[in-house]
A and B are shown apart, each in its own frame.
Chain A
Amino acid sequence: AQSVAQPEDQVNVAEGNPLTVKCTYSVSGNPYLFWYVQYPNRGLQFLLKYITGDNLVKGSYGFEAEFNKSQTSFHLKKPSALVSDSALYFCASQPRSNDYKLSFGAGTTVTVRA
């Protein structure tokens, strides 16, 4: 069975400060890991994914994520947050097998204040 956990329902940061959104995974084997962002009344937008190789993955809009196998984490980061980054962020995992189902976390609401 696979699952992801996003331990924080909400993250609040000031514009210009670093932003971190946490995600831990619990799966058998090394899963593929994804981050999506959802703006109000819109669908999910793909940010980045970890398949293999370099543990630091760079994605859209200045976001990056670090895969940490020993801590089973895949935290999303941005060095300097913008007010426009305020949205709902989802982490998702997919096993490296024929079961290709994406399992999403519950989401983390990010608010960046001016």
Chain B
Amino acid sequence: EAGVAQSPRYKIIEKRQSVAFWCNPISGHATLYWYQQILGQGPKLLIQFQNNGVVDDSQLPKDRFSAERLKGVDSTLKIQPAKLEDSAVYLCASSLGTSGSQETQYFGPGTRLLVL
């Protein structure tokens, strides 16, 4: 079974530029998550989708971050404009069902973003 795929793996941009990350979850997984992992910290949930609907985006900085999952499969996370403090690893995860609670989340390899 293929895992969660993410691209690109690495990205270096200058502040105020825009950037987009792509995620393809495990086939058949209804729920998709985007996390931000700053160096030295645990991952922090940015947004959660169930199929193509947003379930939780309470920690997403909506003035600069946006995400979509148009067909309920793959997803894109965008930052525009980027700030220095956005330098982090962006992790995508998916889980099988829609109950959320107690379900195991499976993570992709992440995209490492450096904003200069």
User: A residues near B, CB below 8 A?
Assistant: 32, 34, 36, 41-46, 49, 51, 90, 92, 94-98, 100-107
Contact = CB atoms under 8 A, between A and B. Distances in A.
B29 to A, nearest CB: 13
Would you call the interface of chain B mostly helix, strand, loop, or mixed?
loop
A43 B93 CA distance: 9
Among B6, B91, B107, the most chain A Cβ lie within 10 Å of the Cβ of B107
B91 A96 contact: no
Interface in B45-65: 45, 48, 56
A106 B102 contact: no
B105 A43 contact: no
16 contacts: A32-B102, A42-B109, A43-B4, A44-B91, A46-B104, A51-B102, A90-B43, A96-B102, A97-B101, A98-B101, A100-B100, A101-B48, A102-B43, A104-B44, A107-B40, A107-B41
Contacts of B45: 101-102
B49 to A, nearest CB: 13
Contacts of A49: 102, 104
B42 A94 contact: no
B40 A100 contact: no
Nearest to B31: A100
Given A101-B56, A106-B40, A44 B107 contact: yes
Contacts of A90: 42-43
